[in-house]
């Protein structure tokens, strides 16, 4: 089963090379990586072209969601994984994330906030508690950038 990893990127020239290096070195060959370069005005696209990845560009910013939807057009995998450039979850966890799709329609990981300032951890916890209360959804970390969904469900879920 082929898996497409979409990396949303807006002006990430300082971090994209490290992200792609880590993804490429830790994943099996049946994974493809698509950089969703959403209206970038820096060198993100140029740097990404140095790697064996697909690049989904758009001439103006569509926002993170719009960039992801644009990148889905290039995805050949049966499974879609979203992966933020900051790699807040180790790329080595991606195969486990994909495996969990056997038991769910959508899988969202949870970050462990090592090194985050106390105020940021506090605000994140408050936001997630409020989100769970308002929407009655039992998700610990709604804003985590690591998510997986089957492509057939991606238009509904992402």
Average pLDDT over all residues of the chain:
85
Q: Does 3-110+143-157 carry CATH code 3.80.10.10?
A: no
In this prediction, residue 51 carries a pLDDT of 97
Give the tens place of pLDDT for each residue, 77-106.
999 999 999 887 888 888 888 898 998 888
Long-range contacts of 119-127 (CB under 8 A, 24+ apart): none
Domain boundaries, the chain: 3-110+143-157
pLDDT at 75 > cutoff 70 = yes
Report the C-alpha gap between 116 and 95 in whole angstroms: 26
Of 24-33, 46-55, 100-109, 124-133, minimum mean pLDDT range: 124-133
Q: What is the CA radius of gyration of the chain?
A: 16
pLDDT at 143 > cutoff 80 = no
In this prediction, residue 1 carries a pLDDT of 61
Report the C-alpha gap between 58 and 27 in whole angstroms: 27
- Distance of CA 8 to CAs 19, 53, 99, 109, 135, Å? 11, 13, 22, 17, 25
- Distance of CA 118 to CAs 37, 46, 90, 125, 128, Å? 31, 36, 22, 11, 15
pLDDT at 60 > cutoff 90 = no
Q: What is the pTM of this model?
A: 0.81
Of 14-28, 95-109, 115-129, minimum mean pLDDT range: 115-129
Q: Where are the beta strands (DSSP E) in the chain?
A: 3-9, 31-38, 54-58, 79-82, 106-108, 147-150
Q: To the nearest whole percent, how much of the chain has pLDDT over 90?
A: 44
| 120-149 average pLDDT score | 74
Report the C-alpha gap between 80 and 71 in whole angstroms: 10
In this prediction, residue 146 carries a pLDDT of 76
pLDDT at 129 > cutoff 80 = no
Q: Write the burial class of residue 84 (CB in 10 Å: 0-12 exposed, 13-18 middle, 19+ buried).
A: buried
């Amino acid at each position: 089963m082929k898996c497409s990893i979409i990396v949303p990127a807006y002006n990430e020239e300082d971090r994209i090379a490290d992200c792609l290096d880590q993804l490429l070195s830790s994943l099996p060959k049946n994974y493809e990586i698509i950089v969703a370069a959403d209206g970038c005005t820096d060198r993100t696209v140029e740097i990404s072209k140095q790697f064996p990845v697909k690049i989904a560009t758009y001439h103006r910013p569509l926002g993170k969601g719009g960039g992801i939807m644009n990148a889905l057009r290039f995805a050949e995998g049966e499974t879609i994984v979203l992966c933020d450039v900051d790699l807040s979850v180790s790329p080595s966890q991606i195969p486990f994330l994909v495996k969990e799709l056997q038991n769910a329609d959508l899988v969202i990981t949870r970050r462990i906030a090592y090194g985050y300032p106390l105020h940021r951890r506090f605000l994140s916890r408050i936001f997630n508690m409020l989100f769970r209360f308002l929407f009655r959804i039992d998700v610990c970390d709604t804003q985590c950038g690591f998510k997986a969904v089957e492509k057939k469900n991606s238009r509904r879920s992402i």
